Amino acid sequence: MAEEAINSKELVMALERLERERNIKKEEVFKTIEDALVSALRKHMGKSAQITARMDPETGVITAEQQMKVVEFVVNPETEMTLAAAQKRGLKAEAGQDVIIPLEVREFSRIAAQIAKQVLIQKIRDIERDNIYREFKPREGEVVTGLVRRFSDRDIVVDLGKAEAILPYSEQIRKERYSVNSRVKAVIYKVWAYKDVAGSEDPVAQRLRPALMRMEKYQRGPFIVLSRSTPLFMQRLFETEVPEVSEKIVELVSIERDPGFRAKVIVRSRDLKVDPVGACVGMRGMRIRGITNELSGERVDLILYTIDAQQMIANAMSPAAVRSVRITDKENKKALVVVPDDQLPIAIGKDWQNIRLASKITGWELEVKSESQLSEESKKVQAAAAQDLTSVEGIGPKIAEVLIKAGLTDISRLATLTPDYLSTLQGIGDKTAEKIVQGAQKYMQEKAQARQSAPAEESTQETAAVEAQNDGKEHQEQEGGN
């Protein structure tokens, strides 16, 4: 059997070094070289030729052979040979049998080496990418530290040692500035293989696709995406700084962030003896300060969890003091937060930051008003109600005030009440109660009659308009006839 070594010993040593340093299995490279030689031989002997090649993993010596079928009449010379041809080669076979023919690879070794080199380079890249993906995909959610290597538009390419990652602009803290070789700490947010990004329906992948495509000119994946703005990064910092969190004694129920400026974190304890807020703050604020410093001064509001929705909303409005919370629409989760006048700017926050974060973390659509605003609105509502009530026969300003205080501002409801019920209100006697009910009933009857007569009046007006229009046409026709 003919054989040829392609830089045999040196190649084996080089591949062993690659295996140690880059975790590239030399068996995979051998397979690549074998495939390259088979490809070179088939170009000479035909595409359908049944050729196999093997490279000795110890010596680097490569051999090749061809399998052919012995036949009486050759139909495909690439896979068949006559009995005479087989005997001429010294092969012992009969018609219908397969024979193995050793091939001379010396003249093809150079071509195979060139092909192997090209394929090997690509294979090494592919294997490295696969290794990087396999190493970093399970590490999603892990905090890492790397060096800023370069900038791609507003995105940052970070060197993690074994691989390069990207910190997209959308995942940065806006007020932070970086320079080449500066250290950056972030969480491994997502890891995608190159092929998984283009057609991905993952909303995160779709949002980050422009940044990943800019990264493509440096590498064809995998894409390791870092983030400093995700709530997950803050969660990991709490797990590092607060032992009770890492030990799951204190739970971070929910986190909402305006990265670099303010965050709200709902906490609760699984141990009644442990104060979750105090545990996160730490002695003299050391624990929370460490987190704030890492996030460029981002203020963190720690919110004690409770199942009471109104109390939860009040807690979430921290640092503002809340006077009361009113559920205005339970089904659609809407609530009104009332605060002292001097607390209104704090409750709203800069650019509506505080109320926005409170709404997000509680899941309620919140509206905030000061006590004076609410009082002014209440006065306007009462004035309008008083005006409506005094239009009812038997109700004067003083009686209207009594009814408003009792919450009886709906005239249709007054019409259904009994005088006995109204007379229980302070300031309303029996006779006055009767007048109120009678007046309310009369008011509602007149209102109903007005509604019924309105369509009739409209119909009469329309009829008159049509008749007038017809009269006008007849007049024009008469004038035309004359």
342 and 271 share one domain: yes
pLDDT digits (tens, 9 = 90+) for 228-260: 999 999 999 999 999 999 999 999 999 999 999
Query: Using CA atoms, how far apart are residues 278 and 287, in angstroms rounded to an integer?
Result: 10
305 and 383 share one domain: no
- CATH no. for residue 378? 1.10.150.20
Measuring CA to CA, which residue among 372, 381, 394 is closest to residue 438?
Answer: 394
Q: Looking at the domain assignment, is residue 401 inside a domain?
A: yes
- The tally of CA atoms less than 13 A away on the side-chain side of residue 464 is 6
Residue 352 is classified by DSSP as G
Q: Looking at the domain assignment, is residue 266 inside a domain?
A: yes
95 and 182 share one domain: no
Residue 95 is classified by DSSP as T
Give every CB contact of residue 229 below 8 A, 6+ residues apart in sequence.
170, 171, 172, 173, 257, 259
- CATH no. for residue 58? 3.30.1480.10
Per-residue confidence in pLDDT tens, the chain, 482 aa: 444 445 566 767 777 777 777 666 778 778 877 888 888 888 888 989 999 988 888 877 888 899 999 998 999 999 999 988 988 888 888 888 999 998 887 766 666 567 657 766 777 777 788 888 899 999 999 999 999 999 988 899 999 998 899 999 999 999 999 999 999 999 999 998 877 766 667 777 777 777 777 766 556 668 899 999 999 999 999 999 999 999 999 999 999 999 999 999 999 999 999 999 999 999 999 999 999 999 999 999 999 999 999 999 999 999 999 999 999 999 999 999 999 999 999 999 999 999 999 999 999 999 999 999 888 887 887 788 788 888 888 888 888 888 888 888 888 888 888 888 888 888 888 888 888 888 888 888 888 888 887 665 555 555 555 555 655 555 555 555 54
Measuring CA to CA, which residue among 49, 11, 47 is closest to residue 30?
Answer: 11
What type of residue sits at position 238?
F
Measuring CA to CA, which residue among 145, 139, 301 is closest to residue 222?
Answer: 139
Domain boundary among 172, 206, 229: 229
Pairing assessment for the beta strands 164-167 and 98-102 based on DSSP bridges? unpaired
The SS3 assignment for 136 reads helix
Pairing assessment for the beta strands 80-82 and 61-71 based on DSSP bridges? parallel
415 and 362 share one domain: no
302 and 379 share one domain: no
Query: Using CA atoms, how far apart are residues 349 and 238, in angstroms rounded to an integer?
Result: 25
Q: Looking at the domain assignment, is residue 469 inside a domain?
A: no
389 and 334 share one domain: no
217 and 97 share one domain: no
Which tokens go with 65? 């052979």
Place of tokens 């990004």: 197
- CATH no. for residue 178? 2.40.50.140
Q: Looking at the domain assignment, is residue 71 inside a domain?
A: yes
25 and 107 share one domain: yes
Q: What's the domain range around 363?
A: 232-368
Q: Looking at the domain assignment, is residue 75 inside a domain?
A: yes
Which tokens go with 2? 């003919």
Q: Looking at the domain assignment, is residue 462 inside a domain?
A: no
What is the total count of domains within the chain?
4
Query: Using CA atoms, how far apart are residues 400 and 463, in angstroms rounded to an integer?
Result: 43
Domain boundary among 113, 133, 153: 133
Pairing assessment for the beta strands 3-5 and 50-55 based on DSSP bridges? unpaired
Q: Looking at the domain assignment, is residue 188 inside a domain?
A: yes
Domain boundary among 133, 159, 175: 133
357 and 263 share one domain: yes
